[in-house]
Structure 1
């Protein structure tokens, strides 16, 4: 069985990042690094969820591809989340 969702607790951290428009450094499971401002979470017709990141253009990152999320915004409510 493949993992097609993240836990509610981890999802909440992504929602908070979007709500406050935090600048993030994302490390994906394939070791790709993406930086940008968290904008929103969107769902595809197939029920996959994506974090929309604004880094001069908008990128959609599937939530299940996240390995680590570092917050670059000073005085944020949290600094780092590791996705298992």
Structure 2
């Protein structure tokens, strides 16, 4: 896998809000796959990589932030729709 590339603070803020509100998200990954789950928290590793932790129907998933393409809130009244994190 490529070296980790931090995402912008603005985009990180959207993820933090989703986690604080425990929103259900549809996450589009850079490879075209999609994951749906409840946003729980972001975590950092000793290697300075950051991950979004989701509670999915098949268990917990951790998605590396620089591999996220877009997120969409699935809960009504979430305050945001689809946000593109990378081009």
In the superposition, the TM-score normalised over structure 2's length comes to 0.91
Q: Cα deviation per residue 1:17-47 (whole Å; 9 max; x = unaligned)?
A: 0000000000000001100000000001101
Q: Which runs of 5+ in 1 are unaligned?
A: none
Q: Cα deviation per residue 1:23-81 (whole Å; 9 max; x = unaligned)?
A: 00000000011000000000011010000000131100000000010100111111111
Q: Which runs of 5+ in 2 are unaligned?
A: none
Match of 2:42, SS state, is: strand
Match of 1:10, SS state, is: helix
Q: Is the 8 A contact 2:4 2:49 kept in 1?
A: no
In the superposition, the TM-score normalised over structure 1's length comes to 0.94
Question: Which residue of the partner structure matches residue 81 of structure 2?
Answer: 79
CA distance in 1, matches of 2:66, 2:49: 9
How large is the RMSD of aligned CA atoms in angstroms? 1.1
